[in-house]
Structure formats: structure tokens, C-alpha cells
Amino acid sequence: MTSRAAILSRVSMAQRTSRLPASPMAEPIALSPRSAAECLERFRQELAALGVECHVEDSAAAVRERVAALVAGKAILGWDADQLPYDLGPVVAGAARGSSPREELARAEIGVTGCQAAIAETGSLALLSGRGRSRAVSLLPPVHLAVVKRGDLCFGMGEFFAANEARLASEANCTFVTGPSRTADIELTLTLGVHGPGKVIVVVGP
């Protein structure tokens, strides 16, 4: 029996019995361990390929200084202070929050978030939305500034899902941010910032 005939036979049987056939169990994929240094280097390479500005700092104080310089003079929309790493609350004091009036959200020039994980293999940020962590912060402003704790770096998506299964089931939403928002029309003209921030900045702390 050809593969096509086998698949059609299974579908036909499922229609008659109203039960979906069980999928054959695949062998688990072995994940080769990566060191923290390897993850960080790969993450930086992927961010560069995506056009993401990246800063790596060696202390919490340096992270605060970097963020302060990046947001200086800008209208800020941010996660709640207790949801941001490295005691960044005072740096973004006075920032609008996800619960702020719509007019304040619309005026925001930069959104400041933490993240729950950074995926080295793709340069992606995993953001779990919930109380104090509004999804709008990473989507509405034209610039998204994400602060990453070095310990939250993992190499691949499989590693992230395996480590966060329970939390993913309980949180409101998980957003993966992979570089600036981009889209291309039928003529393949690439445009940034149509459906979200046109610029992403990442600050990696110790």
C-alpha cells in the first residue's frame, strides 16, 4: 500500500468510527546541551541577522544605565515595576501601563518589557502576558525595548516549552517576538512596523 493510500484509509476509518487514529509515537529528539556562553553568542548572531540592536551588560547597574539612556526623553509604556528585572522600576518611573487610558497608550514612543525566555537559535523573545505584563507594551509603541536576564537564555524552542509547560498552561497569552514587525505585499516589498514595532532593542544583563 502506498503512503497516500494508507493515509486515506486511516481518514476513511476515522470518519466511520468518529475516532481519530492515534499517531505513531516518534522517538524523542535528543537535545545537545549548550553552554551559557554558546547560547549568548548564538543569540547575538541571530539578533544581528534580524536587525535588532543588542547590548550586553555585566552588572545590574550597567543595565539600568543603558536602559535609562535608551528611554531618555521618550514617552514610555512599560510593564509594572515588579515585573521588570534588575530593579528597573525607578528608571521607568512615570511610564504608562497597560491599564492606562487609551490616549496615553497611543502617545507611547517606546515599550519596555522583560521576557520569560530568550531563544538563542532564532533570536526570539518569549513574553508571557498576565497581571502587570500587558501584551500591548510589546505591540503598540514603535520601539520595543526588552531586558533579558542571562539565565533565561535557552538554545531552542523545545527547551523552552519543556521547561515552561505548567506556566504556559496557566498564563493568559504567550507572544514570541522575532525581530521588528515586518510584512511583504504581493510584490514582495518588505515593510517594517506595520503590525507592531518597527525597531526592537535587546539589553542582556548578567
Question: pLDDT tens for residues 150-188?
Answer: 999 999 999 999 998 888 888 888 999 999 976 766 666
Ordered strands of the 124-129 beta sheet: 153-154, 117-119, 124-129, 173-177
Cell representation of residue 28: 524523542
Q: What is the mean pLDDT of the chain?
A: 88
- Flag whether pLDDT at 141 surpasses 70: yes
- Flag whether pLDDT at 145 surpasses 70: yes
Mean pLDDT along residues 180-200: 73
Mean pLDDT along residues 51-78: 97
Q: What is the pTM of this model?
A: 0.80
Higher-pLDDT residue of 137, 9 = 137
Q: Report the pLDDT value the prediction gives residue 65, as an integer from 0 to 100.
A: 98
Cell representation of residue 44: 547575538
pLDDT tens per residue, range 87-106: 999 999 999 999 999 999 99
- DSSP E strands in the chain: the ranges are 53-56, 76-78, 110-113, 117-119, 124-129, 143-148, 153-154, 173-177, 182-184, 190-192, 199-204
pLDDT tens per residue, range 63-74: 999 999 999 999
- Flag whether pLDDT at 2 surpasses 90: no
Domains and CATH numbers, the chain: 34-181+191-204 (3.40.50.10420)
Q: How far apart are CA 41 and CA 53, in angstroms?
A: 14
